[in-house]
Structure formats: C-alpha cells, structure tokens
Structure 1
Amino acid sequence: MPAAARAASRLRGAVDRTRRGLTEAVRRPGPARNDLLLQLKAVAAAVAAWSVASWLLPAQVRTFAPFTALLALQQTLYRSVWEASRYLVAMAVGTALAGAFGTTAGVHAWSLGLVTLLALAVAKTPSLGGQRMQVPVTALFAFASGQGRWAYIGHLVAAVAIGVVCGLAAHLAPAPRTHTATARQQAGEVCAAVHALLADIAPALADGPADAGQARAWARRCDELAARIGGVRAVIHREEENAKLNPRGGPTTAPPDLSASRALVDALDHVVAHVRSITRALSATAPDADAGHDTTHRRFLHAYGDLLGHVATALRLCAPEDRCPGPDLTEAIHQGARHCRTLADRHRDRRPTSPTWPLHGTLLTEAERILGELRRLSPEGADGGAVPG
C-alpha cells in the first residue's frame, strides 16, 4: 500500500474514532463525556487565564497563566490539586534560586551555570514527581529573561497563581461525575471473560491433549485478558481518585467503595498468569511416553478438565449481580480443592515411573494456586479461613 494511502487510512481511522467518541459523549454519561468536558474546560481556563493576565500583568509573563491553567486540569480534581501544588512548589524553588543569585552575584555565564546546577540538584527530589523539572526550567526563565529581578519574579508568581485559580475553577464548574457503577461493571465483565476461557479449556481436555493451535489460541486470550485487566485496574484507580475532594456527592456522602472490585481485578490478574502457565504446560509433550503412559495422561487430562470446570464455576461466582460473593463461592472452592486433592492422590503412586508426572504436577500446582486466589475473595477468605487441603 502506498504511503499516501496508508496516511489517508490512518486519518480516516482517527476521524472515525473521534466521531464515535463524540457520539458516545453526547448520548450517555461516562468517561467519553468526562474527556470531552475536560477539553472544553481546558479551553475556557486557558482563555480566562490569558485574559486576566493580559489585564493585570506585563506581556513577558502572561504566557505562564494559560500554561499553568492547562497543567492544573488533570482528569480528576484530586490530581489537579496535587499536580498544581507540586508545580507551585517547583516554581517557588526555581524563582527563589534565580532571585537569590540575580540580586547578589548578578547575571553572568558562571552564575547562570551555578543556578542551573543547583536547580538540577533540587529537581532530583522525588516528592515533586513529574513537576520536578519545572525547577530548572523556571529558574532559567526567571534568571535569563527576568535578570533575577524580584519585581519580575513577583509578576511570574502572579501569572502562575492566576493559571492555577482559573484551572481549578474550571474543574469545579462542574466537578467531574463519578462512575463507580461503570468500574464495577467492567470488573464483572473481565471476570466473566476469564471464566469463559476456563470454561472453554475444561471440556476440550476431555478429548485428550490439546494441539499446538489450541494452546496458542488460549495463550493469546490470556495475553489479551492481561491487557484488559490492566485497563480495568486503571479505571478503578481513576474512579477512586475522582471521589477524593469531589464536591459533587455532597460533604456528607461517603466515598464510593471499590475495594471489592479492586480485589477482584488483582485476583484475576494472578489467575490469568496461572492459566497462562497451564496453557504452556498443556502444549508440552512428555518425553518417551509409551502407550500405557499416554492412556494415563489422557485419563489425567479428562479428570483435570473436570477440575478446571469446578474452578470455572467458582470463578463465575466471584462477581454475581449483587457483587457480594456468598457461601456458594466458598462451597465451589471447597469442591475444587477436594477434586484437586483426589486427583493428586490418584496419580501420586505413578511418580517414580511416569514421565508425565512433572507435567501433571505443574498443572495441579497451578490449579491449586488459582483456587487460593479465589479463596481470598470468598467470605471465608475475608475472615481468615482456609480451604481444606
């Protein structure tokens, strides 16, 4: 495909994604609408900050007002306040260095180098986070453009303050809505997807060893699920953060509790890693497996498929409609643990002679680990209980 055609295709794709995002933002509340509102707020805040700075301050510093307004507008009000505070600290340190050297040593090449060196040293402070490089940037700007004069630095601080006020005011008008129901729904959906994967693997083992194509397909689904779980975790984190300092729910409203969804997603992350290990083991070929051992291997896989069926049942019960796992989950985990123990006992006597035992041991270990992850989500696990071994 020619380069022009590829560029045109990418442009059409970008336009199509933008159109779908705008349509979703108009139709229903959600992250797409929040993003659109944030863009509109950013425009309004930058224009307001530049207008106020143009009215009150000299032209040399007014650019800092809209720049700071954009910096203050993060996805959540909590992060906006946090990043704006870090920037104010970084700017205060940088301008203090510029003013101290500008009014004492004067503006020279050696003093500029010393200011830069000290500002870079301060920029290593981890507490400033992503704003730490603003220390040398602000110091150089105040020192080189403002000659380190305190009058110029005062105007610079005023421009930054105007930007912060305009940015936070735009964020509060109105504050972004919380979408905890969406976060819980996405956690339940990814749980259902992991359950579907196990539910597909379990019956396939009744026909014997998985072929290479099946194992690769299951491994690809594990990779896709791992990426999806990371996205859901980011959504949960954003919604938890969005509830902080957010006045939209009222001062007496308790912040939404997404701890159960966060625990579910963390457990699913580990479960998918264990399922990925199972797919690797299923794709392995036992060395020197004669006809008798092959029969034993098939019988094991048939029983192991039943075990994965119990695990899939337990996983389905981790995210019921009321998002409150109950005693059914505990019973399903107990059944899976008993089945796992029975299967291990049945094949224990074959360890010395069976070349397939290392493979079977790996499969059983991964199933036990999955059950252990699910136990933490059950009422028994929350109370510190243990699944019978």
Structure 2
Amino acid sequence: MPEVSAPVIKLVRRTTEPVAAQTIRSTAAAVISFVVALAVLPDQPAPLTAPLTALLVVQVTLYSTLTTGIRRVNSVVVGVLIAIGFSALVGLTWWSLGLTIFTSLIIGRFVRVDEFVPEVAISAMLVLGVSQIASMAWHRVLETLIGAGVGLLFNLLFAPPVWVQSAGASIDGLARAMGRMFRTMGDEIGAGHIPFAHAAARLHEARRLDHDIVEVDASLRQAEESLMLNPRVREGLLSRIVLRTGLDTLEICAVVLRVLTRSLTDLAKFRTEESLFPPDVAASLKELFGQMATAIESFARLITTQVAANAERAEEQLTEALAVSRTTRDRVADLLLEDVQEHPRQWQLHGALLAEIDRILDELDIDKRTERLTQELDRHSAEMRERRPRLMALTRRLRGHHGTERPPGVEA
C-alpha cells in the first residue's frame, strides 16, 4: 500500500497547484507588453525585450514580482550605461568585449541585482554591438521599462494565485508519510521478531524524511510569498504563522521519529534470536503507534484546514487521538517496567523509547500549539510596531481597534 499511495499523493499535489492560471497570466502579460512596445516604438521591428521582461517579472507571487521587477530594470540600465561608456572609449573589439563582460559581471554584484547579474552583461553586449549606440541604448531601456511596467501592473490588477493549498498538500503528504512509518513499525513489532536489516531500513527511511521536509519548506516559502501584499488575502499573516509553526512541529517530530527508529534498530541488533518485546508489550506498542499516526495526521489537517468548522473537527480528532495515545503510553510503560525487571538487558533503550514517544506527544499538544501561535503573533506585532509605528496605528484605526482573528484554540 505505501508503494501505491506515495505516487498518488505526489500526483494530487501537482494537480492542485495553480500552474494553469500562472501560465495564462504570464502569456497574457508578455503579449500585452509586446503590443505596447510596438505602439511606443514603431521603428523597432521586433521589441522582444519588452515581452521577455514581462515574462520574467510576472513571477509566481506578487511579492516576488515587485522585487524582481526592480532588480531586472536595474540590471538592464546598468548594462546599458556600461556599454555606452565602453563604446565611447574603445569601440567593439575582442578584448573590449571581454572587458565589458568582465566589468558588467563585477558591477552587477555590487548593485545587488542578485539572479540578474548575467542580465547586466547581456544588456551591455546587445547595446555594444549596434552602430547607433545612443538610439539602441534608449530603446533597450524603454523596452525593459515597458515590460516591467506591464508585468507589475498586470499583477496589481489581476492578483496572482495563492499557493496555500499546494503548501497544505505538501504538509499533509509529509504527515501521512510519518503516519505510514508509525503504522509499519507497529505492524513489524506486532509480528514478533524483527531482523536487524529491516530495522536498519526503517532507520534510513526516517532519515530520508529530511529531504521531504526540504521540499515542503520550499513549497511553504512560495505560499508565504503568495500571501504577502496580495489583495485577495485578508489574514495572510495568520495563515503564514499557522503553516510555518505547524511545519516546525512536524520537523521536530520527524527528528524524534528518526531517534526512535534508531532505538528500535539498536534493540534489533542485540536481540537477533528473539522478539524485540513480549507479546503483550508488542500488541500495546502496535496500538500506540497507530494512535500516534492518527494524531500526526490530525495535526496536519488542523493546520491546513481553511474552514473554521472543519478546523474545529480536526482539533477534536487531534485531542481525542492524543488522549488515547497517552493512555496507551502509560500502559506500555507499566508493561515495559515488568519486562525490564524480568529481563534487565538493554533497559536504557526501553526508557529512551518512552522518552521519544513522550516528546512527540508533547510537540503535538493543543495547548503547546496555542502558546506557540500566540507568541509568534505577539512577536510579529511587536516587530511591526517598532519598524512602522504609524502604519500600525493607522491599521488599528481602520479595523476599529479589533484584534487580529485567531485560529480555533488561540485566545486573544
């Protein structure tokens, strides 16, 4: 079943991304900028710099569009100025071309255009190679300004898609992968003897969760940018904090899960001819791991649910799963204590196993999540008051002194 579900989750995650909307927006912005450039520069046979700039400026999020547009225009203007200077001094030769490229790349680092450093050299080369340097330079800058202006205006009038759903699907996929690991470990423990090779393979699988976390983090960063400065989003800050703190919690749980699999691997290494646990302990651990899997999946649903009613239901499910998990954990602790008294070997691994279970349950706790969200909201509000006191005061007046809406379980 895990071999089938993982590709299905990836497929669903891709189909939920608003790629089609972004493709249409980029194409429309490039065509409009080309038409505008033809109208403004009728002497230019093919002002392709304008649609190229618009295509690059209309990024996935409004925030990146604004920052990218400024950097791109800056890179083109700097490249044109460098080309004008070299053309007036030395003209176009093989060594002047190399010196122009070298100088453009160096200056591009100092003007902080980031990923558009090569664009400085490209603009300089294109302008340096024409006969009418002044006219070409002006046209090049004007085409860039047209493309950047159309791209920026396009994103202001037609807000880009919000990538929260895609980030939520990534977080949910990570939680489901962790849940599958818990259930698989429970089934293996309940079956009796676990070969060391199987336990080691489970440890490597837990270590590979780090790669999944990196992918989820990239998806979440895109979602966070899509919420910034987006007129379609009312509570962008709240959504960003809920998702970010939720991913932090799952990342901690993934680290503890890796340590837990290491403890089981060490037990399998010492107990090569017998079961890891007696039948009663194994049955209780299987039950506990299944409950913990449900708790992690419920936590992911809670932080990714957008509708208040569904969020309340997810919170109820998480509370119930944590309650039964703690009850089963106490029963496992009692059984392990009896087992240690009869078989004192590797008692420290039994204690480590219980400690790791406790850490995961503590991280998923509702009260801890509420406290973390409250701290993050208060910290961000304090930072905003220090950086932009007038803007915060105006925002409070416009909202009628009402506080920021908070998710279920978070007190104002």
Superposition TM-score, scaled by structure 1 size: 0.69
**Residues 140 and 279 of structure 1: CA distance in aligned 2, closer, same or farther (over 3 Å):** same
* 2:20 maps to 1:39: no
**Counterpart secondary structure, 1:132:** helix
1:156 to partner: Cα distance: 0.8
In the TM superposition, what whole-angstrom CA distance separates every residue of 1:71-122 from its partner, at most 9, and x where no partner exists?
Answer: 1121122222221211111112222222223224444444433332222223
Contact 1:90/1:134 (<8 A) preserved: yes
In structure 1, the residue matched to 2:69 is 84
In structure 2, the residue matched to 1:174 is 158
Query: Across the two proteins, how many residue pairs are aligned to each other?
Result: 349
* 2:48 maps to 1:63: yes
**Residues 51 and 363 of structure 1: CA distance in aligned 2, closer, same or farther (over 3 Å):** same
1:157 to partner: Cα distance: 0.4
Contact 1:187/1:232 (<8 A) preserved: yes
Contact 1:208/1:302 (<8 A) preserved: no
1:182-221 residue pairs with structure 2 within 5 A? 183-184=167-168, 187-188=171-172, 190-202=174-186, 204-211=188-195, 215=199
In the TM superposition, what whole-angstrom CA distance separates every residue of 1:33-59 from its partner, at most 9, and x where no partner exists?
Answer: x32233233333333323333343343
Contact 1:72/1:167 (<8 A) preserved: yes
In the TM superposition, what whole-angstrom CA distance separates every residue of 1:330-351 from its partner, at most 9, and x where no partner exists?
Answer: 7568657767876786677799
Contact 1:325/1:377 (<8 A) preserved: no
- Provide the rounded CA distance (Å) in 2 between the counterparts of 1:370 and 1:247: 38
1:159 to partner: Cα distance: 0.7
1:158 to partner: Cα distance: 0.1
Residue identity (%) = 24
* 2:307 maps to 1:322: no
In structure 1, the residue matched to 2:400 is none
- Provide the rounded CA distance (Å) in 1 between the counterparts of 2:222 and 2:332: 38
1:70 to partner: Cα distance: 1.2
In structure 2, the residue matched to 1:49 is 33
1:163 to partner: Cα distance: 1.2
In structure 2, the residue matched to 1:267 is 249
The gaps in structure 1 that reach 5 residues or longer are 1-19, 385-389
**Residues 151 and 289 of structure 1: CA distance in aligned 2, closer, same or farther (over 3 Å):** closer
* 2:364 maps to 1:374: yes
**Residues 341 and 283 of structure 1: CA distance in aligned 2, closer, same or farther (over 3 Å):** closer
In structure 2, the residue matched to 1:16 is none
- Provide the rounded CA distance (Å) in 2 between the counterparts of 1:163 and 1:230: 34
**Alpha carbon RMSD of aligned pairs, Å?**
4.3
- Provide the rounded CA distance (Å) in 1 between the counterparts of 2:164 and 2:93: 56
**Aligned letter for 1:243?**
L
**Aligned letter for 2:162?**
T
**Aligned letter for 1:367?**
I
- Provide the rounded CA distance (Å) in 1 between the counterparts of 2:270 and 2:181: 31
In structure 1, the residue matched to 2:138 is 154
In structure 2, the residue matched to 1:4 is none
**Aligned letter for 1:322?**
A
- Provide the rounded CA distance (Å) in 2 between the counterparts of 1:198 and 1:287: 20
The range that moved more, 111-120 or 323-332, is 323-332
Contact 2:268/2:276 (<8 A) preserved: no
1:84-103 residue pairs with structure 2 within 5 A? 84-103=69-88
- Provide the rounded CA distance (Å) in 1 between the counterparts of 2:315 and 2:137: 59
**Counterpart secondary structure, 2:236:** coil
1:62 to partner: Cα distance: 1.7
- Provide the rounded CA distance (Å) in 2 between the counterparts of 1:296 and 1:215: 11
Contact 1:202/1:306 (<8 A) preserved: yes
Contact 1:281/1:363 (<8 A) preserved: yes
**Aligned letter for 1:370?**
I
In structure 2, the residue matched to 1:5 is none
Contact 2:21/2:161 (<8 A) preserved: no
In the TM superposition, what whole-angstrom CA distance separates every residue of 1:242-277 from its partner, at most 9, and x where no partner exists?
Answer: 22232335xxx3426222233223322342344345
- Provide the rounded CA distance (Å) in 2 between the counterparts of 1:316 and 1:296: 27
**Residues 164 and 341 of structure 1: CA distance in aligned 2, closer, same or farther (over 3 Å):** same
- Provide the rounded CA distance (Å) in 2 between the counterparts of 1:187 and 1:287: 33
In the TM superposition, what whole-angstrom CA distance separates every residue of 1:128-181 from its partner, at most 9, and x where no partner exists?
Answer: 22212212222222223367x333212110010111123334444532343645
**Aligned letter for 2:360?**
I
Contact 2:196/2:272 (<8 A) preserved: no
**Aligned letter for 1:45?**
A
In structure 2, the residue matched to 1:121 is 106
- Provide the rounded CA distance (Å) in 2 between the counterparts of 1:287 and 1:254: 51
**Aligned letter for 1:112?**
L
